[in-house]
Structure 1
Amino acid sequence: MRSSDQNEGKLWKNFREGNDRAFFDLYDQYVDVLFSFGIQFCTDKEIVKDCIQDLFIDLYRYRKSLSDTDSIKFYLFRSLRRKLHKEISKNQFVSLDEEVEVRLDLQVSDSEKKIIGYESEKENLHILEQALKQLTKQQQRALAMKFEQNLSYSEIASLLNISVESARTNIYRALKSLRKKMSKKNMATTALLIVYYKSMSFGNSILI
């Protein structure tokens, strides 16, 4: 077991046992990533913030009865998603695509990462951002979960209420669309996505 997994397990255990310091550490560690995740489903920032607040209130209130988890982040994402689902109408919530049986693993090569030049990075990221806006909402959410939150396909599928195959398909089709739109720019799409979502995660820091 990795040390990070051990530390996460210890944090969750201490929190459930009533350690207030662990609760505040949990809040500080995950509040920003929860916000980044939440706005993928709801563009109203105040609703997202309110749901995050309610989530942590519930966690504190019922912490001694909470189940164990292998991933705190996934546990919190799933809980927040349920709260958001109750706050917004079905028409505003994620629409589901039909299942397509396509299996494709996502890989990022070292050579791709080296293609991005420092001077042109800002311009490239802007072009990428515009291309991302042309994807479906579900494709945007799936990419954010994969590249920003580093979730597995099974976790993405669970959070989007789709099959694992559909999660892979959404990411595959999104990457294919992005590469087609950006091919003339000779950009390394997957590497740019990593840089883009990394910059987004730093830029979305909030105070709730």
Structure 2
Amino acid sequence: MNQLRTSKIEKNWHLLAGGDREGLYECFDLFYDDLFRLGVALYRDVDLVQGCINELFLELWKIRERLKEVQNIQQYVITIFKRLLYKASNGAKVVLFDEAVHMELTQSSYEEMLIALQTDEGLKAKLQVAMKQLSGRQMQLVQMRFYEGRGFKEMAEVTGLTERTIYNTLHNALQVLRKEMD
């Protein structure tokens, strides 16, 4: 973080801690893009992230008298934000924070993140339509294999089918999905 931004954050943080609404609004503006990118990278849910950012700043306003004691402002804000996200998501699975996510967070603009999300949502919608083309048995086996992570042996025990039949049925299902996704 550059020195000018750090000093702006500190100045407005002290205004916020002193009960100045303008300090709250400025802190919101200074933190919003970073929090948005972090939240979307972790949960891929724009509404959840935006709601938690708003809730974060409402919470900061409520506890403003205690904010004077904060030493590392940015870490404090991120920690509260992550807790709010986790709580609001009811423990939904978090995307693992790896090098790709780090690059996405540091290099993507707000607009690029929205475009990526819309593309992701478009693919999900296309997949849902494609899944409707599968037979009931194909759907069941795709669900067991790819959503539940079951092996062929376990699937055979549950369904009463042979492993070879399961393999062939999944192969045919994947061909249908590939055709529909093109």
In the alignment, is residue 25 of structure 1 matched against residue 31 of structure 2? no
Deviation track 1:157-185 (CA, whole Å, cap 9, x = no partner) reads xxxxxxxxxxxxxxxxxxxxxxxxxxxxx
Would you tell me which structure has more helix in proportion to its own residues? Answer: 2
Could you say which residue in structure 1 is the equivalent of 2:101? 141
- What amino acid does structure 2 have at the position aligned with 1:50? G
In the alignment, is residue 10 of structure 1 matched against residue 8 of structure 2? no
Call closer, same or farther: CA 1:16–1:143 in 2, change over 3 Å.
same
Measured in 2, the distance between the counterparts of 1:28 and 1:4 equals 11
CA shift, 1:56, in A, is 0.8
Measured in 2, the distance between the counterparts of 1:25 and 1:39 equals 22
Measured in 2, the distance between the counterparts of 1:24 and 1:91 equals 30
After superposition, residues 57-206 of structure 1 pair within 5 angstroms as: 57-66=58-67, 67-72=69-74, 74-90=75-91, 92-94=93-95, 137-139=96-98, 140-145=100-105, 148=106, 197-198=107-108, 200-204=109-113
Measured in 2, the distance between the counterparts of 1:39 and 1:56 equals 18
Question: Runs ≥4 in structure 1, deviation > 4 angstroms?
Answer: none
Structure 2: 5+ residue runs without aligned partners? 115-182
Measured in 2, the distance between the counterparts of 1:4 and 1:91 equals 33
CA shift, 1:46, in A, is 0.9
Call closer, same or farther: CA 1:93–1:62 in 2, change over 3 Å.
same
Higher RCO (CA < 8 A, seq sep 6+): 1
CA contact (8 A) 1:9 1:70 kept: no
Measured in 1, the distance between the counterparts of 2:94 and 2:5 equals 33
- What amino acid does structure 1 have at the position aligned with 2:18? E
Q: Secondary structure at the match of 1:86?
A: helix
Q: Percent identity?
A: 20
Q: Secondary structure at the match of 2:97?
A: helix
Measured in 1, the distance between the counterparts of 2:6 and 2:45 equals 33
- What amino acid does structure 1 have at the position aligned with 2:71? T
Aligned length: 111
CA shift, 1:202, in A, is 4.8
Could you say which residue in structure 1 is the equivalent of 2:44? 43
In the alignment, is residue 56 of structure 1 matched against residue 57 of structure 2? yes
Call closer, same or farther: CA 1:17–1:43 in 2, change over 3 Å.
same
Deviation track 1:16-48 (CA, whole Å, cap 9, x = no partner) reads 011111111111222222111101111121111
With normalisation by structure 1, the TM-score equals 0.46
Measured in 1, the distance between the counterparts of 2:45 and 2:6 equals 33
